[in-house]
Amino acid sequence: MATRTMTRPTADIRPFHVEFPESDLEDLRRRIAATRWPEKQNVADQSQGVPLETSQALARYWEKEYDWRRVEARINELPNHITTIDGLDIHFVHVRSKHEDAMPLIVTHGWPGSIIEQMKIIGPLTDPTAHGGNASDAFHLVIPSLPGYGFSGKPTEPGWGPEHVATAWIELMRRLGYSRFVAQGGDWGALITDLIGLQAPPELAGILTNMPGAVPPDLDLLMQSGISGASDPLAKLPDGLSAEERKACEELAFFWQHSAYALMMATRPETLTGFADSPVALASYLIDHDAASLELICRAFAGETVGLSRDDVLDNVTLYWLTNTGVSSARLYSENKLSFFAAKGVTVPAAVSVFPCELYEAPRSWAERAYPNLIHYNKLDRGGHFAAFEQPMLLTEELRTAFRSLR
């Protein structure tokens, strides 16, 4: 078994406590009540975005029944900290397992996510014996808030793109004293985890991604060519693709044709000022990330819980509102110059978990080429883009299984 030493952490780590004034919550409810609504949509599905009935059901529950203090108390039960890296305050949750030989793991959320996404996996990962696992499955867990998100600082000048975040996360793990660690992420977290793998610091033992950067670069560019809808990239697919690879291309083409939210944030984030003024505008934008996730959320506010509850959704949205991070989080898109999905040349030990309702299902053939040191590949039978949020135990088991060979 590999040994993991922990050196003395740096002193530049401060405790952090969350407590928003009641006046902020009263103002939130007042603004929700004052929402001016549009007319009902003229389609009977979600093809044009968040249906009016979903937004109105969300607003009713948010104003009349939702309890922020419940999740605020849950956050404060965790060890929250702030440290300053490259002049920016970085917030993170750091939960050490009672099992001293646990493997250090840094987990990164994405947009429109936050540390709220990962709260369901903290117990199973750090205390596996209480959640159906063995002591040998334990992790010491670090969950940072991305710059401009949650309780982290908001960059005041350009330069905090995903490459910089990856470098900062490596520094964070060193600052915490970890001489060996693994990394995992989805959405922005997947890209940042790939970049940690690409930087390959000596402390890094391996990575797990549930939104892999595995697409051959030529196919990645081809699928993006359909963004405007002026051409059909699927008509230009090369010969020789397997059925699984062709299906992945179809999923990617669909995503890019419905990626206006990302293009808006990448090109005009400062135009989204309404996010700081209208809670319903913010919520509607945040829940319209992808078709499968929106369907889950619509079902939740129609009274059916499948993967996500109303409180799950509003815990995350309310964090964005109270921290006023709707615009600052969007700026990460304008900072990014990399492809989410294209292979990047990661050679460290890597694991790929494929959830069926992810933006695309990465074929094993692509994963093996993108990650030549592939230590684990698995296609799950349920779950989507927000794996930790929707299917925490499935993701937990993926992490346990994937990293056993690295302990």
**Residues classed as catalytic:** 187, 333, 385
- Answer for the pair 109, 188: CB distance below 8 angstroms, yes or no: yes
Report in angstroms the alpha-carbon separations of 251 from 215, 257, 363. 12, 10, 12
Core vs surface per residue 246-265: b (16+ CB within 10 A) or e: eebbebbbbbbebbebbeeb
Q: Which residue(s) pair with 84 in the sheet?
A: 89
- Answer for the pair 107, 115: CB distance below 8 angstroms, yes or no: no
Q: Where do the H-state alpha helices sit in 35-156?
A: 52-64, 68-76, 115-126
Q: Which helix (H) or strand (E) holds 379?
A: strand 374-379
Q: Where do the H-state alpha helices sit in 85-187?
A: 115-126, 162-175
Which of 65, 59, 75 shows the shortest CA–CA distance to 19?
75
Task: Find all residues with CB under 8 Å of 101, minimum gap 6, and list them.
Answer: 1, 4, 136, 138
What's the length of the chain? 407
